Chains A and B, each alone.
Chain A
Amino acid sequence: RYVRQLQRLQLLFSPTAADARGARQFVEEAAQDFARQHPDVVLYVSPHSGPGPAPVLRAEYLNGTVREELIASKTSEEIVQLATKMANQSGLDIIRIRKPFHTDNPSVQGQWHPLTNKPSILTVQGPRLQPQ
């Protein structure tokens, strides 16, 4: 079954800062709907009073990664889109994947080595035959 990799979303903003207007509108209007649509994600709303750091949406995933996205001067709809995007992600690092495939057992018949196609007299050490 599908297990959502997002553990919790923390909405850190200041109730008086001007750039946190979108965050405040999101909390008033869309936060409850978002929480109902995603029942397995815990949404924490933590306003800190007074002038502080920029409003941020912090996502914590099941493998421990914490991703912070700035929501300064963003509208409520954009914050909803951002939150759904983070909810659908897993906590893996967003870097270039070198290969889209991976195996733990790449070889079934035995990997090639310089003696695979040579006559076996070169490798086999049988019992020493007595001179007859």
Chain B
Amino acid sequence: MVVLSAARWLRSRLSERFWRVQEVLKYARHFRGRKNRCYKLAVRSVRRAFVRSTKARREKKRFLRALWITRIEAASLEHGLKYPAFISNLVKTQVELNRKVLADLAIYEPKTFKSLAALAQRRRQEGFLAALGDGKEPEGIFSRIVHHH
């Protein structure tokens, strides 16, 4: 018997069924109990795992958005602002940063986030003055809107 290499000899010894079974079992290796060893149980578990992972892709977006909102809320509370006030005033000043970027800034760039919180606070004060004052005072500086045409 001429053995060209160990891999080729191994391949010829095992049956085709072994490889077909291994294809499924390789996705079940990190499961708990007999489903990571026995093919009959593993087939069902692997199929359910795949179905769950496809469905979870839609949930992941919701989950991550909720995580970012929690983080932004915590960071803005440190600077004395609540989350709805922070976001609404940021939108009114035409700062179009999404929650993902705001959460990353709050973690890695705390000074930038502090200045964003101060901007939102200032815009909030100007909004109050404009609503309550209703006099002949000029409009606030940060309440001006830039029109892009």
Contact = CB atoms under 8 A, between A and B. Distances in A.
Interface residues of B, number: 14
Given A117-B78, A117-B79, A52 B110 contact: no
The DSSP consensus for interface residues of chain B is helix
B112 A109 contact: yes
The DSSP consensus for interface residues of chain A is loop
Interface residues of A, number: 11
B114 interface: yes
Contacts of A107: 107-109
A107 B75 CA distance: 16
Nearest to B78: A117
A108 B109 contact: yes
A12 to B, nearest CB: 11
Interface of B: 4, 8, 11, 75, 78-79, 106-112, 114
A-B pairs, top 4 by smallest CB distance, nearest first, are A107-B108, A112-B110, A117-B78, A109-B111
